[in-house]
Amino acid sequence: MLTPQFYLFFKGDCLQAMTHYAQTLGGTIEGVFLNKDAASPEERMPGGDDLVMNLALRLGDTLMMASDNSDEMYERPQGFRIQLETPSAAEFDRVYAALSENAREIPMPPGETFWAERFAMFTDRFGTPWMLNFTGARLPDAVT
């Protein structure tokens, strides 16, 4: 069976964003390759030495990968959100506070829904779109 993974692109702040995600979500950065690590100038991407060419962040069984993009190649993420199911209301509040600090937009602040005790949608300060969910007692047999 294939395991889906996702790859995020940033506009010069990949290392900062992914370090924040690792600290907030309890992950481990497994590898970082910077522009200056390229064997030759031809293998570099446009931009400075400290741009991230590739970074791997392990979150449980998921590998979250990312890199920086040049201004001309960067596209704002759209059409998806990274969804996290938290095990408790307290963990929801902690993760929400950390990831939504200085958020670019919060179309759905934390609140109750018919499927969850807490749910929120926002785009963080790095441009990554998120959904947080704490099902709680709403759907005890929900797949997480």
Q: 90 and 127, same structural domain?
A: yes
Whether 76 is covered by a domain: the verdict is no
| 121-137 per-position pLDDT tens digit | 999 999 999 999 999 87
Whether the predicted pLDDT of 38 surpasses 70: yes
Across the beta sheet with 105-111, what order do the strands follow?
A: 82-85, 129-134, 118-123, 105-111
Ranking 25-34, 93-102, 118-127, 133-142 by mean pLDDT, the lowest is 133-142
Q: How far is it, in rounded angstroms, from Cα 110 to Cα 15?
A: 28
144 in any annotated domain: no
Please compute the mean of the pLDDT values over residues 89-112 and round it to a whole number. 97
Cβ-contact 55, 65 below 8 angstroms: yes
- Res 142 pLDDT > 80: no
Residue 41 contacts by C-beta under 8 Å, 6 or more apart in sequence? Answer: none
Q: Domain span at residue 35?
A: 6-68
Domain stops at, among 41, 68, 95? 68
Q: List, for residues 72-85, the tens digit of each pLDDT value.
A: 788 888 899 999 99
Cα–Cα distance between 75 and 142 in angstroms, integer?
34
CATH number at residue 15: 3.30.720.100
